[in-house]
Amino acid sequence: MDQSTETFSSATTTTGQVARRSVRVRRLIVSAITLTVMAAVCGHALGVFKPTETNVTQLAPGVYFRKMEWQPKFIGCNQGWIVFEDFVLVIEASFPNQAEELVKEIRKTTDKPIKFVFDTHWHGDHADGNPIFIAQGASAIASEQAREQFVQKGVPSYEKQKQEKPDEYGKLKYGIPSIYFPKRMIIEDATQRVELIHFGHGHTPGDAVAWLPKHGILFTGDSCVNGPFNYTGESNTASWIAVLTEMSKLPIKTICPGHGERSDNLLIDQQRRYFVELRQAIQEGINAGKSLDEIKKSVDLPWYKEWAGVDVKERAENIEHVYKELTQK
Ligand SMILES: [Zn+2]
């Protein structure tokens, strides 16, 4: 596959480059979407995938990004780590097997202790690996607005995974975060500064991002993805647009999305455009008296296919979600 053999030297992309790459991989996109959506909803329900097909690159001194491939298999979210003077901060635990792999990758770069793991949100493909880091002495951090989802949804979801994937989850105890911040938390020393920021309800009520102002690098979690990865089931798309607008005011040079290729600040505009135009198109259908089924057949955003590699109609669950938001049904 083009994507799996790609190196990070080509990964600082414009959205145009992203679009071209996406077009090349269209043929597998439908199954990948199914995998992605299922994983987003229930935390990789399709079996234990081997933690292969990953790439690590150093973005700045002590700042690393690990891109997770998603074709032919969905194996987890993108991750990162920041090496401070005395410790390491991990961004995104991912699944337990990927957390173990990440520890090995970190050890190739530093022997400093892993002190924190930041979960952008509660979804299993982002946070189920917490116990691997907690066992090493780390504390898991999330936004205060995510706490309820970890408790209400994360705990039962994790128990289900233990039943379904005893080899990966069986011996582990759910690693619920122990540090919560209200809007912003700053972790800083003489070498690094990381700002964990909750902008509002986007992909989930508790989404937060990691902003590295010294380098202009933003780790977005699923607030901003690069490809057909948007899952809207727990979202508020009007608020999500506002979140992306606020986020785009940061002087961003590099975006490390929750899924898909690394990009520049233009990725946020692409991501926002999807929700703005999807809402507009569905509202127009509602105003014209169309039913949900009719809207599902008529919504047309050709540029989305150029970006995400899949026709907007194929993301039917997102159309249903926005229709419900706009009709209050
Ligand atoms: Zn998610």
Tens-place pLDDT, residues 54-105? 789 999 999 999 998 777 678 899 999 999 999 999 999 999 999 999 999 9
Structure tokens at 46: 């399709």
Quote the DSSP letter at residue 225: -
Q: Which of the listed CATH numbers 3.40.50.2000, 3.40.630.30, 3.40.50.12160, 3.60.15.10 matches domain 2-273? A: 3.60.15.10
Q: How far is the CA of 112 from the centre of ligand 1 (A)?
A: 29
- pLDDT for 115 equals 98
Does residue 47 carry a pLDDT above 90? no
- Which pLDDT does position 73 carry in this prediction? 76
Residue with the two structure tokens 């480059």: 17
Domain locations in the chain as residue ranges:
2-273
Give distance in angstroms: CA of 305 to centre of ligand 1: 21
Q: What is the pLDDT of residues 216-248, one digit of tens each?
A: 999 999 999 999 999 999 999 999 999 999 999
pLDDT in tens, 289-306: 999 999 999 999 999 998
What's the confidence (pLDDT) of residue 70?
Answer: 75
CA of 191 to the centre of ligand 1 (A): 30
Using the mean position of ligand 1's atoms as its centre, give its distance from the Cα of residue 21 in Å.
23
What is the pLDDT, as a whole number, of residue 69? 79
What is the reported pLDDT for 53? 58
Structure tokens given for 172:
């582990």
**Cβ atoms within 10 Å, residue 281:** 18
Average pLDDT score over residue span 178-183: 98
With a cut of 90, say whether residue 27 has pLDDT above it: no
pLDDT value of position 309 = 87
- Centre of ligand 1 from the C-alpha of residue 24, in Å: 25
Q: Which of 3-7, 16-20, 196-200 has the highest mean pLDDT?
A: 196-200
Q: What is the DSSP string of 40-90?
A: HHHS-TT----S-SEEEEEEETTEEEEEEP-SSS-----EEEEE-SS-EEE
| Ligand 1 centroid to residue 165 C-alpha, Å | 20
pLDDT of residue 128: 98
- Per-residue pLDDT tens for 260-280? 999 999 999 999 999 999 999
pLDDT 10s digits, 142-178: 999 999 999 999 999 999 999 999 999 989 999 999 9
Q: What is the mean pLDDT of residues 120-131?
A: 97
Band of the pLDDT at 38, cuts 50, 70, 90?
very low
CA–centroid distance, 3 to ligand 1, in Å, is 21
- 254 band by pLDDT with thresholds 50, 70 and 90: very high
Residue 59 CA, ligand 1 centroid: distance in Å: 24
- Report DSSP letters for 253-321, one per residue: SEEEESSB--B-THHHHHHHHHHHHHHHHHHHHHHTT--HHHHHHH---HHHHHHHSS-GGG-HHHHHH
CB of 229 closer than 8 Å to CB of 195 = no
Residue 77 Cα to ligand 1 middle (Å): 9
Is 170 buried (19+), middle (13-18) or exposed (0-12) by CB count in 10 A?
exposed
Per the prediction, the chain carries an average pLDDT of 86
Contacts for 266-272 with beta carbons within 8 Å, 24 or more apart? 266/14, 266/15, 267/15, 267/18, 267/224, 267/226, 268/224, 268/244, 269/15, 270/15, 270/18, 270/226, 270/307, 271/224, 271/225, 271/230, 271/244, 272/241, 272/244, 272/245, 272/248
The Å distance, Cα 70 to ligand 1 centre, comes to 14
